[in-house]
Amino acid sequence: MEIVSKAKSHGGVQGVYRHASDATGTPMTFAVFVPPQVDSGPVPVLWYLSGLTCTHANVMEKGEYRAAAAQHGVIIVAPDTSPRGENVPDEPGNWQFGSGAGFYVDATQAPFSTNYNMYSYIVDELPALIASQFPADMKRQGIFGHSMGGHGALTIALKHPDRFKSCSAFAPIVNPSTADWSRPAFEKYLGKDETAWREYDAVSLIEDGRRFPEFLVDQGTADSFLTTGLRPELLAEACRKAQIPLRLNMREGYDHSYFFISSFMADHIDWHAARLK
């Protein structure tokens, strides 16, 4: 693991790191904030998955999470959103697919299946690295994310309720199998058989019997993607039928940007910290 940068912040350390990934076959960069409480021993881990077009840097620079993470003594891990490199298949100019748009799936279709294995990277490879290199209590993990990352957080939590004690999301894509802006990516990554898509779709997973103790979701009412890509009412209905507690906060006047995310970031970290402790 290569140290790209380190800086002291809120008594802890904000670092950026790079390593060679077996899952993606590329170098992968990620950010980790380590709070000051690690001086007394391992602390809980909270994973933040970013949205379309983003890297680790978006939340690190604009998410305003460090004060709350330092207050509660929580490590924050922010991975990248896709493999990157000259030899990685991509569609330049298409912000909804390829570079910056891995959708946290393991692609099954060539040529994307060689590199686009973000599900395995987030679920298996990177946690093993975090456990070996940082003072992380891996028995206390939570996960959250934004937009495409909210989709990733919900699906990963639903498939690993034994690992994650908490899950929340900002403006998640709750039913990507039926959303206009995610269906084309799913077909390219996973093929035309839509039954294979259900493993990466929160609403479908709940319909198919997957469960999680509770969810927290914040959604802006002025989000331009609200009615076409996000549609939180579909998650609310699925959770209602499955009797999964969902706190859905519709935030009046907020959009899809990090101005929205940073406004409620501390609320989410407070919520996770209560469940991780």
pLDDT digits (tens, 9 = 90+) for 167-206: 999 999 999 999 988 999 999 999 999 999 999 999 999 9
Where in the chain are the domains? 2-276
Given the residues 147, 166, 177, 204, the one annotated as active site = 147
Given the residues 146, 182, 223, 272, the one annotated as active site = 223
2-276 CATH fold? Rossmann fold (3.40.50)
pLDDT averaged over every residue in the chain = 97
User: Model-level pTM greater than 0.85?
Assistant: yes
What integer pLDDT is reported at residue 181 of this predicted model? 86
256 tagged catalytic: yes
CB 234 within 8 A of CB 110: no
